[in-house]
Structure 1
Amino acid sequence: GGGSSLRMSSNIHANHLSLDASSSSSSSSSSSSSSSSSSVHEPKMDALIIPVTMEVPCDSRGQRMWWAFLASSMVTFFGGLFIILLWRTLKYLWTVCCHCGGKTKEAQKINNGSSQADGTLKPVDEKEEAVAAEVGWMTSVKDWAGVMISAQTLTGRVLVVLVFALSIGALVIYFIDSSNPIESCQNFYKDFTLQIDMAFNVFFLLYFGLRFIAANDKLWFWLEVNSVVDFFTVPPVFVSVYLNRSWLGLRFLRALRLIQFSEILQFLNILKTSNSIKLVNLLSIFISTWLTAAGFIHLVENSGDPWENFQNNQALTYWECVYLLMVTMSTVGYGDVYAKTTLGRLFMVFFILGGLAMFASYVPEIIELIGNRKKYGGSYSAVSGRKHIVVCGHITLESVSNFLKDFLHKDRDDVNVEIVFLHNISPNLELEALFKRHFTQVEFYQGSVLNPHDLARVKIESADACLILANKYCADPDAEDASNIMRVISIKNYHPKIRIITQMLQYHNKAHLLNIPSWNWKEGDDAICLAELKLGFIAQSCLAQGLSTMLANLFSMRSFIKIEEDTWQKYYLEGVSNEMYTEYLSSAFVGLSFPTVCELCFVKLKLLMIAIEYKSANRESRILINPGNHLKIQEGTLGFFIASDAKEVKRAFFYCKACHDDITDPKRIKKCGCKRLKVAARSRYPKDPFEFKKETPNSRLVIEPVEDEQPSTLSPKKKQRNGGMRNSPNTSPKLMRHDPLLIPGNDQIDNMDSNVKKYDSTGMFHWCAPKDIEKVILTRSEAAMTVLSGHVVVCIFGDVSSALIGLRNLVMPLRASNFHYHELKHIVFVGSIEYLKREWETLHNFPKVSILPGTPLSRADLRAVNINLCDMCVILSANQNNIDDTSLQDKECILASLNIKSMQFDDSIGVLQANSQGFTPPGMDRSSPDNSPVHGMLRQPSITTGVNIPIITELVNDTNVQFLDQDDDDDPDTELYLTQPFACGTAFAVSVLDSLMSATYFNDNILTLIRTLVTGGATPELEALIAEENALRGGYSTPQTLANRDRCRVAQLALLDGPFADLGDGGCYGDLFCKALKTYNMLCFGIYRLRDAHLSTPSQCTKRYVITNPPYEFELVPTDLIFCLMQFDHNAGQSRASLSHSSHSSQSSSKKSSSVHSIPSTANRQNRPKSRESRDKQKYVQEERL
């Protein structure tokens, strides 16, 4: 229809007729009108649309009918307005009249009250009831109409959205029709677009009726923009049907409906933020104004001025008018398109005022809103077959780089995990560059985990885990922990099943996590408490110096750095490349004892196994570290290994006795195709982990070949070096391990009989009744009179306002119950009494703790506590995070460390030193070396300079480690683990614990093992108890609690003398490993070697460094100290059962393994007679002579 109409228009335009009514006669005009009529009606019969132009009239008289369309709109608008005003006027007059009549009736009611009471008001009541019923009906209809258009119900929302969609549809039809002339003849029954437009407008008319009924103020409703749009678009459509004509007219006003676009999107819950709502509002107002104004220009320019008889028109398309309005609003005005009509130019004059103002204000604001949109505001799209984790909390360049370096380390198996970071602050340029470097595995989204919408964006419900990083350097640790706990609550509230691994700064805040209903550590939820682990590492260094460095290196992923020169760094870095892994043991190990499997793995597979996960009869699993030879390996046992990468550990799973028995190269141990020997009772577990397995035919088949094989595990040369070691029994009768449930030692019997609480309720720690802090405070003179030796000095910086660091976590490992009471090292705190009073509530249940009020920078205080005779000096600070300058955060600890190292001491009391750098294996009494085959006592010259005092210093800023040792050559940019103080175990920084996040994610057993090793036996049950009372509860000794003492602990073995002295001089580490394991059930896992031991010339340097898991052939030197996991010795406590009741002479003679020579009782210090002081002084002189 459109194409034919355009062709007809051009043909008619070529043969235009001149219509001059003044010069034509009536006959000629009638004949011309009849001819024109015939020319017009013939195409109508053929269903062709003839457009009307200025030259070709559509009717017989050649008149245009635009005024009829416009009049229909005007009559509707003004007619309705007149009716509303008339109704309001009549209603006002009626109200005034009724008001006057009401006063008269009211007076009549007062005067004729009795007659009214007789029933004269009954007709009035009936009338009022009728009016009330009518009002109720009108109100219900009005309410119904209001609900229909209010979008408060589903029907209303559908209706509102439908009206908007149809309005846009009508606007699209206008765009299509705008390519036709302004006015044209159309047959309603043949024109499809007219039919659609008619249907749309019928719907608009019905919706207008609903809006009119629901409107409270009809006058304001009549003047609304949407009502005006309906007045000038709906009536002309009905006129079009009646006249068979079409006039574009004011149909462009439908563009004003775009203003409601923002409301529609809010109804559909698409727009939620204020910025997005504002942006859509600005865009919709700008575009609707632009399109509406373009429609008006299109109308007047294509029609012409009426007073010019429409002769000054110009043919402009609608889109040319849109272009004209844009260049006009922007004040560019190229002049290629411009308005010719007077109406168009007049409109442009007024439009340029408002349009320019709108353009100048709206466009910059729109650009600003678009520019301020979050760059990282999208949603994560999960990749099928690939897991993802969400990392949130403290997201900075340092924390992210440390995390990614460890998480994406090449030593791990292929990490097919995508890391999604969620933080409410956009990353800076450096962090953004870091994300771009790892773009294949890292994505960043801006948002908060406290907002469920943001959690949905990162698909937290399908995430494998959520990791929460803490700010270790914050000034308020409790506030930081509270923030992370709120993050956990928010995430668990959104998805209770998600696995969460969070960092916590303070130990006491872990209790709040237990209050979260969906928090379940059995399902993988873990809280890595940095204070607990940091102080636990430092405490283990007090028992075995350098252990903190070794353990920190084990759970950190470090690449192997090869050094050819024979320096201490070469051996240290070889050990640094070792990490901790877990792997299931091959069925070839089933039925063998733990030491046997451990030796086989070390000798043949080149793997060091230190622990296993044991499942009891009720299927509860627990980790047993070096459990000893009484435990047999079950089917499907999980082993904990120290190795350089994950591929090496696979050997323990692939090992097959039939296929790999004669293989000497461990790299050739790979998966074999043979069927392994299966144990019949595969699902059978012993009822007790300490129960010996009964000999069954199957177990005997497995054990016997290995028994035959054991002698061949050593080379002939190694056999010769070990002498007759293999022929000796596995354990001598004196070293026989006793089950505390069956043969309790004397000291255990005493505990049970005396009914005294000496351990906490779990049996994991030594315990005493709560003591007042005044009873443990020593003055400087009292401390000087107390001969302290082999003790631990804790130098603590803190004051009333300092954040608590949780000293309980430092004391608990030193009070583990797998030490006998006489083996406990006395702990002396040197620091501010105000600070220690705040910590004392968590320390008052531990024995052998004293406090010297003072400052660690005072040499007099340090000399008073005999710092030159201590086993370890720990330097801590609670003020580190209160300083903004990172280089000054560790100033107190560095000054204290340098102060101690510069001190000089007299050698007169050096003979009293009880050196703890070596220990005697269990069962060997140091007090009677002649009666035992072991002489493990390592005697060194007494310390005369502070440089030789064993010190471990806690640092906050890694780069400050360069200030601790003045004789090292460490570069300031050297990583912490490569520096000499860290390698020697004299410095520890909390940053090394960052690696635990990724290590725990890949294997949550690693964290359990580290905590078991470091904390001295803290369990989830103990944490629940501390969460309940914030203190250890004493308990009576029972067989069950005493059994908990039977667990191994870390110690250092001296090679200078004793049963391993022959191996200390040029022997192999592997021979030492096998001998210690078979003879004493001790598991060796590293060496603490003098720094200059590799030099041919003797050196005066006493610094040592850590060598982790040396190979079998590693050559030993006599001065080496061996890290080992030793068994709990039940016999060691029997001879000490009455230690506290012994005389002074016997006490001093057996003090070689005791920490304190004499600690005067301070319980009754005020009432202590002078004779007591003189006795103490006399005793000090006696011991000094010794």
Structure 2
Amino acid sequence: MSGLVCGEGPNCGPLSWNYVDTQLLISAGAWGLFFILGQILAIKSRTSNIDEYRERMEIIVVKLHGSPRILVIELVMSVSSCVLFMFRTYHRSMNEMSFLCEAVACIFYFVLFIPNWAVKHFKGLSSGGFFMLTEGVLELFLLGSMAGLVIVSHEGKKTWFSPSFLASKHFLAAWKRALIAMKVNTSVPATQIMDILVVTIVKVYFMAMLMLTVENLGDPELLKSFTKDKWNTVSSVYFVLTTVTTVGFGDIVPVTSLGRLFTIVIIFGGTSWLAQIAYRGGQIFAVNNSGGGFFVPIPQTKYIVVVGSPGAHMVRNFILELFHPDHSEDSDDLHISLILTPGSPAIEATLQLLKLPENIRINARVHVFQGSALNDDDLLRVTISSATCVFVLPDMLCHNMIQEDTENIIRMMSVQKFAAKTRIILLLMTAENKDLLQEANISSGSNITVVAYDQFKLEMAGKSCQVHGFGPLISNLCKSINIEEEQDAEGYAEDDEEMGEGPPGKPQWKKDFERGAGLELYEVDLSQVYSQRGATFMEVVVDIIEQTGGLVYLIGLVESRPDSKRVLVNPGPMYPIKASTGSLKIMGVFFASDREAILQCDVGMVFLGRRERALADEDTEMMGGGKKRLRNVAMAKFQEEDIPELQHVNLGQAQKETALQIARVVRRHRRALQPVRPPLKMLAVGGHVIVLCVGAQAAEAGQGEVPCLSLPTARCSGHNHQGT
């Protein structure tokens, strides 16, 4: 390896453009190659069905970014590259060990670069082009310069220079992912200060190394003519800027009388001009904070615009829900613009909300504007044509609901002029106005969703009467909550404490309730393994329960086509799982605590949907004993020998019957504390009736018929259930 690099001392050439020009040429060639290949890949993704490869690349990117090992390796290698570059600037040499370390780091960065490059180009030409003009330039310059260390030589000498300080970009990216991976609370002031210090140190290092490189390189041939004389265009601009900003290094000073007179004019005129710029900048900042100004969303980001007259409480809940930590992955690149009527209390309330320390991460992504959706200039200020979705929200505390709905309908029609293809969600107060919209064919577009508030409330109330607990279920799914992990001795049930069932803490039912309240709906791509194995909906439900230990539930499917979207909630146990194709995308609707908790059967994994579970004794009786065994299990009575204490006590017949009755109640109570779960596949089939018996008499009155109800309803439909 000794011949690959320059080595120590005089064998290394100085830092000059003779080496850097060739390194730039190699990097430009590599950049052009990847740019052309990327554009071909983007065109291919539009004209051919390569969804399978795209999904594989996206999975690889997620695994690379989420792997703790990759994260640690990236941090270590980026730090080592930066430190080695600092040492090389002093010794002006490149030994074999230093080259080996930086070559391994460069190969590692390139391995991370390839999947990201592919995924960005799968998304389209603009996404891939933007990626190549930003990250692609730095990555391929780093790769080309490392190749130049081996290839480039001038006057028989090789160079020691490669811009390894660019690895600081990888350190910043890995640092942000490390904070997320370690679940660091970024709302804590100490954490924010630490983050600011780390980012500041890295950026200062980057700019310092950049200045060191540029100054040691000197001017290229193209710029040498500009620096021939002491006073030239570049040095004159430098002198004026250092003078009017009151820095005044003193390295360049006028020596003529006329030059000194003009310097006095420059000082007074420049400082007043600078003060005027600062004043105007402050005015612009104040206008922006008070609801003026403009906003242009960054390309390839999600952008939501909210118009209407929502109240302060509604806006607050809307913002906090969108940026809830449970949705961090979906809201990382999300921006919101609010167009609120002048004088609305929601403006001040929103600004105060964004000033809170815990909301510092969303402060730069929520933009408040004063204006109206009926004003074309206000819609242009927020670049509404680039919005992903527009929400038209009413004032829920308004006195005249008809007037409020009329104004919001007009706002929706105004938005349609500038964003005809953007999805619009309109919230009305009364269902009557919704029907009028449909009759007038105004809301017939596929991109317009109209929701009536009073209709939704009545439907919720009616459904809650049919299905008890439906209202809380929907509320928990539609609103994110945080459950604090704490062990409170006062919350532990006294009965459980007396029975000695574990240390004091929250009762199990409360833990289960809080865990269930934290579940949310997620729409995730369904694994292709299920369609390849001809699985039914019931088998997929069972498999996901087995894969996640009962923490995630599949409740439905989404069959998405380019022109339509079909949502199937519980399509039936025997519904076949279709395969995803170019024109059909199959997704699952899950109950889960977060997206990472959803585990599905993947290639090479064991499909647990058809695995036979080891059944308990009661389960075996229920599955194979038929109606007669079920009745025998339910009607089994304790005999005298089941209670050893009765054999040594002389009791009358009535007293023995009472003792047996008490024993039955105690046994039922013990079984109720730890009930045996019915077979999983039996429950997955569905069609059951759940019966809760309270009190011994009620249980005995229906004990001949209750076991039958644990079988599918269709099998019990021919029996008489008057007792239950």
TM-score per shorter chain, which class? 0.3 to 0.5
Q: Normalised by the size of structure 2, how large is the TM-score?
A: 0.43
Q: Which has the higher helix share?
A: 2
* Normalised TM-score (structure 1): 0.27
Which structure is richer in relative contact order (CA contacts within 8 A, separation 6 or more)?
1
